[in-house]
Amino acid sequence: MTDIDKHNTNQSLGDLRRYTKIDHGIEGHTSHGTFKVVVYNPHTIRIHATLAQYNDHSYAVVDTPSGDFKLEESETSLVITTSKIQLILYRTPVRFVFKDLKGNVINEDDAAFGTSWIGEQVSTYKKLQPDERFIGLGEKTGSLDRRGNGYQNWNTDNYAYHNGSDPLYCSTPFYIGIHAGQAYGIYFDNSHKTHFNFGASNNRFMSFAADRGDMNYYFIYDDSVSGIIEYYTQLTGRMELPPLWSIGYQQCRYSYYPDKEVLSTARTFREKDIPADVIVLDIHYMDQFKIFTWDKNHFPDPAGMIQTLKEQGFHVVVMCDPGIKAEDGYAPYESGKEHDIFLKYPDGTHYSGQVWPGWCYFPDFTKPEAREWWKNSLKSYSEIGIDGFWNDMNEIATWGNTLPELIEFDFDGNKTSSREGRNVYGLQMSRSTYEGTRELLNGKRPFNLTRSAFSGIQRYAAVWTGDNVANEEHMMLGVRLVNSLGLTGIAFAGYDIGGFVGNAHESLFARWLQIGAFSPFFRGHSMVNSRDSEPWSYGEEVEEVSRNFITLRYKLLPYLYSCFYMATKTGIPVSRSLAIYYPEDAHIYDGLFEQQYLFGPSLMVAPVESNASLAKVYLPEGEWYEFFTDKKHIGQQQIIAECSIETVPLYVKGSAIIPMAPYAKNNTQGLGTTLEIHIYYGQDKNEFFYYEDDGESYAYKEGDFHQRTIAFDPDKSQLKIAEVEGSYSSRFDALKICFHGFESSRFKVNSKLADTFYEDYRYIQKISNFDPVGDRRQEFVLKDLPYLLLDYTTGPLTISW
C-alpha cells in the first residue's frame, strides 16, 4: 500500500528514478509509480501511468504502435522527438510538456500537480493556455466551446434532458484544445466514470480524471483539426460504410401497431410521393415487450408484412432491448441461463433489474459466449427479412436508473465490476448486434443504431441523441450534439425530428424536418400518447415543405453517399462543426452562430428557430453562394438571411463540387439515370471524390466500386473528371455539368467546343400552394443556368472555359 491509499491526499507520480527503452517508447519508474511513453505514429503519443500493474485492456483502441522517435537526455529531462512533435519529460518531478518542432508549447502539465491521485481517483492537470478553447467530448449539452465548464462521463438514461443536463447516454472522452494557432487532441482511455474540467471554477488548469483505474491518455497533434480527427479515428477505428437505404428518410413511432397501421403508414408515403426508405418498429411489436417475440394479435404474420413492405421499397428496422424477462418457459431466458451469459453479482446470483417486460436479466456483452448467443438469437429477425437493428435502453436503463456497482463483467477474461463496465455496455451490445447481423445477412450490410455508446462506437453503429423534447431549444441542441459527436469520430449521428417527448406545433415540425434533411441520420420519431408526427400530420402546407426537403435530401444522395465513404477512409464526419475548418475564428463560437455547420465539405447550414422570418448568419472566410438563389457573398461577415417557414438558410462554398440527382422518386433506388455535377466558381482549387457502389453489399471491399476524382482549378480555367477507378458500373448513363457563378458560357470538352444549354434550374419545384396574405407562393429559380449534357463515360474528361 502506498501513502496515497492511506491518507487520501493529492500525490503525484513523484521523481524519475530510472527508465528503460521498450518497443516504440520508454518505461519510467518513479518514486510512487510507473509510466510508459509509447509512440504510435509521428502524430500520436500515449502516456500510461499507474501505481500498480498496467491495465492494457481497451474496447476503444484498435491501432497498434509503430512510430519511430529520437531520444535525448540531460540531467533535468528526457526529450522524445518524432517528425511532428516533441515531448519533454522532466525528471524532478515527472511532468510532460508537448511542443511543436519550432519549440512552441502545444500542451503542458501543471507544474505543481501533473498526474496525481486522491485515493483511487487519478487525475491529470494541464496548464490553461492564454485564450485556449476546448471542443468535442461528444454528446454533451451546452456551447461549442467547453471552456469554463465541467462534465462527467457516466452513461445515463436521461429522459427529456435539457440544455444543461449532464451526463447523457454516450461517453466519448476525447477533446480538442485550440490556442495561438495550435490544436491538439487528448483521448482519455478509461471507461470508469470520468470527469473533465475545462477551467470550471478556476483559471489555472483544465483536468481530466477517472474514479479508478490507470491514467492512460493519447496525445494527438496535427496542423489541422481535421488531421487530429483523422488520427483519433485511426486510433479508435472508423465507421463501416452503411447501406445506402439507411441514409434515406426513416419513419418511426412509439409505436406503430397493429400491422395494418404499419402498412398504412408506408402506403401513405407512396401515395403522397414523399420519398422514404425505412419503417421502424418500436417495442409494441413484441409480445409483452419481450425481445425476440412478436405480438400475435397485432402482428399475426410478421414475415408477410415485411415482404409487403419490401415490395413497396421499404426496409424494416426493429427495436432491440437488452433486458431478457426472467420468466420460466420464455426461450431466450432459458437459453441464456443454459449458456451462462447473464450479468451476475459476486456471489454468483444473476443481477435482475426492472424494465419494460418486468424483472429482467441482462446479457454480459463483454463475454464472447454472450456475443455468440446474441447473434444466434438475432436469426429470428434476419430470417424474415429484417436488416436494420436499433439498440435501445443499453446504458443499462432500468427503473430507478441506478446500476449496482458490484455487478461483475467478464471483460473478455479481465473480470471487473460495473464501475468499469457500465460505460462500455452500449458499445459491446452494438458490437454484438453488428458483428452478428453482418454474418447473418448473407453479404448484405446491416444498419445498426444505438443510444448508449463509448469511444469506438463508430465501428459498429450510428448514434442518435435519445429522448429529446418537442421545443425550439432541443431542435438547436440536437444540431450541436450531432456536430460534437462528429468531432469525436462519430460520423453517422442524428436526432428525433419533431421531438420525441411532447407535441411539436406545425411550424416547429416543418423547421425541424428542414434542418434534419441535413443530418447524417434522418429519422422522424415521437412517443406514445402524443400527436401523430408523420410529414402529412401537420396540414397541407407542412406536408408540402416536408416533401420538398425530403426530396432535396434524396437529390443530394450522390454527394452525401460520397461523404459517408470518405468518413470510412478518413474519419471526417458528415456534419462538420465550423471549428474543423475555422478554429481560430471567434465568430463561430458566438451563441448566435455556433449551430452553423458544414454538411459535407461544401454546404453550410444555418439552423434557425421556427418563428424566425429573418436571421443573422455568419459567413466564414471565402466566397459563399445562397443555395436557392445563387446570390454570392464574400465571407468574414454577418448577413441577414430570409428564412420563412418554406426554407432554411443554406449556402454553398465557392469552388464547391456537388454531385446531385435531378430526380428523386420513392426511395434511394429512384434517382434516375443522369448525374448532375454542380460547380460553383471560386478562387480556390478544390477536389471532390465521387463514389458509387451497389449500396448494399461488401463487394466494394474487393474493388467493385466506382470512384473518380473531380478537380476544379480556377487558375487553369479547368474542371477535370478523372478516369474511373474500380469495376462497378455507374447507375448513371448521362452527365449534366451545371456552372454557377461563371462569367464564361463557352466550354470545351477534351479541347473540343461543346454545346452549352441553359435552363431555369429549380432545386425545389414548388414551395407552397397557399396564399392567405400576400404572395407566399415561392419558387427558387436560377435564371439562365448554363450546363453541358454529356454521355457518361468512364474515361477522363477535361472541361475548360
**Residue 408 among the catalytic residues:** no
355: number of CA atoms within 13 Å, CB side? 27
Q: What is the DSSP letter of 240?
A: P
pLDDT in tens, 62-100: 999 998 999 999 999 999 999 999 999 999 999 999 999
The answer to whether 434 and 460 have CB atoms below 8 angstroms apart is yes
Assess whether pLDDT exceeds 60 at residue 579: yes
The answer to whether 728 and 707 have CB atoms below 8 angstroms apart is no
What integer pLDDT is reported at residue 78 of this predicted model?
98
pLDDT in tens, 532-550: 899 999 999 999 999 999 9
pLDDT-derived band of residue 784, with 50, 70 and 90 as boundaries?
A: confident
The answer to whether 270 and 670 have CB atoms below 8 angstroms apart is no
Which residue of the set 392, 594, 623, 696 is catalytic?
Answer: 392
The answer to whether 533 and 509 have CB atoms below 8 angstroms apart is yes
Is-cis flag, bond preceding 255, omega within 30?
A: yes
pLDDT-derived band of residue 783, with 50, 70 and 90 as boundaries?
A: low
Helix (H, G, I), strand (E, B) or coil at 702: helix
Q: What's phi and psi for 758, nearest 5 deg?
A: -135, 150
pLDDT in tens, 479-518: 999 999 999 999 999 999 999 999 999 999 999 999 999 9
What integer pLDDT is reported at residue 522 of this predicted model?
98
What integer pLDDT is reported at residue 781 of this predicted model?
56
Assess whether pLDDT exceeds 80 at residue 775: no
End-to-end CA distance of the chain: 77
Q: What is the DSSP letter of 246?
A: G
Mean pLDDT of 563-583: 98
Which residue of the set 467, 472, 496, 693 is catalytic?
Answer: 467
Domains annotated for the chain, with CATH where assigned, are 3-221 (2.60.40.1760), 249-324+364-562 (3.20.20.80), 578-652 (2.60.40.1180)
| The residue to which cell 452478428 is assigned | 436
Q: In what order do the strands lie in the sheet with 95-100?
A: 70-73, 77-81, 85-90, 95-100, 105-108
Q: What is the DSSP letter of 285?
A: G
pLDDT in tens, 97-151: 999 999 999 999 999 999 999 999 999 999 999 999 999 999 999 999 999 999 9
What integer pLDDT is reported at residue 782 of this predicted model?
63
Assess whether pLDDT exceeds 80 at residue 8: no
Angle at 486 between CA 485 and CA 491, to 5 degrees: 110
Q: What is the DSSP letter of 71?
A: E
**Residue 467 among the catalytic residues:** yes
pLDDT in tens, 657-681: 999 998 899 999 999 999 999 999 9
What integer pLDDT is reported at residue 7 of this predicted model?
57
Assess whether pLDDT exceeds 60 at residue 6: no
Mean pLDDT of 220-232: 98
Which residue of the set 395, 646, 676, 692 is catalytic?
Answer: 395
Assess whether pLDDT exceeds 80 at residue 777: no
Q: What is the mean pLDDT of the chain?
A: 95
**Residue 392 among the catalytic residues:** yes
Non-local CB neighbours of 36 within 8 Å, separated by 6+ positions = 22, 25, 26, 27, 28, 46, 47, 48, 49, 54
d(CA 793, CA 801): 20
What integer pLDDT is reported at residue 147 of this predicted model?
98
What integer pLDDT is reported at residue 285 of this predicted model?
98
pLDDT in tens, 328-375: 999 999 999 999 999 999 999 999 999 999 999 999 999 999 999 999
Take residue 277 and report the three cell numbers written for it: 426508405
pLDDT in tens, 373-425: 999 999 999 999 999 999 999 999 999 989 999 999 999 999 999 999 999 99
Q: How far is CA 49 from the centre of its chain?
A: 30
Assess whether pLDDT exceeds 90 at residue 4: no
pLDDT-derived band of residue 773, with 50, 70 and 90 as boundaries?
A: very low
Burial of 349 (0-12, 13-18, 19+ CB in 10 A): exposed
